[in-house]
Copies of this chain bind each other. A is one copy, B any other.
Amino acid sequence: MKNISLKDIAEKAGVSQTAVSKVLNELPIRITPAKREKIKEIARRLNYRPNVVAQSLRSRKTKSIGIVVPDISSLFYPELIRNIETRLFSLGYRCIICNTQDNPSYERLYIQDLIDRWVEGLIIAPCGEEENVNFLQDIYKMGLPLVLIDRYFPGENFPYVVSDNKQGAKIAVKFLVSQKVSRVIYVGEKRRNQAVDDRLRGVKEAARENRIVFTDKEIFLCEIGREKVRETFRFIFESMSRKGLSCSGIFFESNRLLMGLLDAARERNLFIPDDLRIIGFDPLSLEIVYPQDFASLRLLKNPFPIIKQDVQKIGNTASEFLLALLKGKKEKNLRKKVRVKMVWR
């Protein structure tokens, strides 16, 4: 089944290929209304669909955008991607979505591939490491529109949209202080990136401003994985019980640490927030997998607040930044830290 081309229509209508192209693309051309209508009619009847690949080759535009994230199925990426995809689709752009598995060499592979496919722009949530900074700089210097999301590189001049992680951490500490703690404990992942480092920095600053204890001894970084996280919290609770529970507040870096926290709390029958003052990033969403998880539920007795990122705003802003770059604007200020909120209702 052969596809219909402009040439086919031109022959059937007895006009030039140029005329067909211009009529169908609504470009200025002086032609009798009769012929114009005839061309359109034939195109319609033959169910003509322009060959987008040929258009791309000729125009050097593919109307496609690459979205590169560590894991399309975790954290807020699904929601973020949906948000961006919907916005860009309505403007005629299609999104090619890639999963780097937080691996810098996959990241390079994917991005190179997207460039080879002539995406017109890239939205990237980069791997934590700085390993690919030069690689990204090369791309950005080539003039390819590029917006980082979720993570950024301070000192580099990429456009980015991230949460204001430092601000969020500071609100969190303020909350703990209002709970009369005199010391804050930071629990995070060993694997660092700028986003979580900003959270750590925020806690540090806020602790100093509020004159509560926060030294390197209060920082605990662990491997990801529920088991490892539990061990970390087990150790923390042991050391806390010596000094008294109620005078310490726990800040956890993301909800990837929550189930491990609950596992350790259950071992000591610590209720939240009664026995334990905690606060952390990301909405509370519990995966109930094991029988003991039902016991964990009982630990969460009353509401406690969490720090929530504004996914929608991040998505919208990233889309707007990319569109501005696509329009060729050389705006300087395409860097945005989106404010976060403390919610507990």
Q: Which residue numbers of A lie inside 8 Å of B, CB to CB? A: 1, 49-54, 56-57, 62, 64, 71-74, 77-79, 81-82, 85-86, 89, 94-99, 101, 110, 113-118, 142-143, 283-291, 294, 297-298, 300-303, 344-345
Q: Considering residues A72, A143, A284, A300, which has the most beta carbons from chain B within 10 angstroms of its beta carbon? A: A72
- In-complex Cβ contact of A96 among B50, B94, B284 (8 A): B94
Copies in the complex: 2
- In-complex Cβ contact of A291 among B81, B85, B89, B303 (8 A): B303
CA A290 to CA B344, docked complex, whole Å:
7
- Check A72–B62 contact: CB distance below 8 A: no
- Check A53–B56 contact: CB distance below 8 A: yes
- Check B96–A95 contact: CB distance below 8 A: yes
Collect the chain B residues with CB atoms within 8 Å of residue A344's CB.
291
- In-complex Cβ contact of A98 among B89, B98, B117 (8 A): B89
- A92: nearest chain-B partner, CB-CB: B113
- A79: nearest chain-B partner, CB-CB: B73
- Check A302–B294 contact: CB distance below 8 A: yes
Collect the chain B residues with CB atoms within 8 Å of residue A56's CB.
53
- A303: nearest chain-B partner, CB-CB: B291
How far apart are A39's CB and chain B's nearest CB, in angstroms? 20
- A73: nearest chain-B partner, CB-CB: B78
CA A345 to CA B302, docked complex, whole Å:
26
CA A204 to CA B74, docked complex, whole Å:
36
Q: With contacts A53-B57, A73-B79, A96-B97 known, what are 12 further pairs, Cβ within 8 A?
A: A50-B116, A52-B116, A52-B118, A53-B118, A54-B57, A71-B82, A73-B81, A81-B97, A95-B97, A285-B286, A286-B286, A297-B297
